[in-house]
Amino acid sequence: MNTLLVIAKEPRPGRVKTRLTPPFTPEEAAGLAEASLTDTLHAVAATPATRRVLVLDGAPGPWLPPGFDVVAQCAGGLDERLAEAFAGCAGPALLIGMDTPQVTPDLLTVDFADCDAWFGPAEDGGFWALGLACPAPALLRGVPMSTPMTGAVQRERLVAAGLRVRDLPRLRDVDTAPDAHAVAALAPRGRFAARLARCPVAAETAAEPVSRPVGPR
């Protein structure tokens, strides 16, 4: 693996995880976002790669582990920002978002020897990971984001380009309070689970119904 990319927002109250508010306060939602991002970054740091890049909307903080290059997200829609992230890569690259703190180095250790692309579907119809042996920004531009068909459209775009696609396991993004509880249960020893347990409303929201948006953030 040449490059591992994480696309993320700075975890500031009112700017991240707004669908957790309510039941969580903006400060609690930002704390959960920071924990999710930190778990994700540490999983990436433990994954073999030549280069690790945080593609960030905002400024880095003490949650950023060593060994990462930080580049600013470009302007435009999510498809443009994802495309631009790949544009800065010279060889094989895998991109993930900040919403899957249950991710592990094993999941991120992909081999392009017998494929051209890796695709990680999300339970909400989006995708949590996308890997390209030869990064081509045009494969992402124009894909409609934040819809129930985002993942299907993106994967079909890869197939239509003649790429050999392999699938990663389907994961659940953290967008709502029920998502948060479900994901924390999958990684109970992580920073995200610990931060959730400290939120006063955590027990009250554990069984609420789920309604999720789509796509890496």
Model confidence pLDDT, tens digit, residues 159-188: 999 999 999 999 999 999 999 999 999 999
Give the whole-angstrom CA distance, residue 164 versus residue 10. 34
pLDDT the model gives residue 211? 41
Model confidence pLDDT, tens digit, residues 111-149: 999 999 999 999 999 999 999 999 999 999 999 998 999
pLDDT the model gives residue 203? 63
pLDDT the model gives residue 201? 78
What pTM was computed for the model?
0.92
Whether 216 has a pLDDT exceeding 90, the answer reads no
Provide the 8-state DSSP code for 171. Answer: B
Closest C-alpha among 102, 163, 91 to residue 128: 102
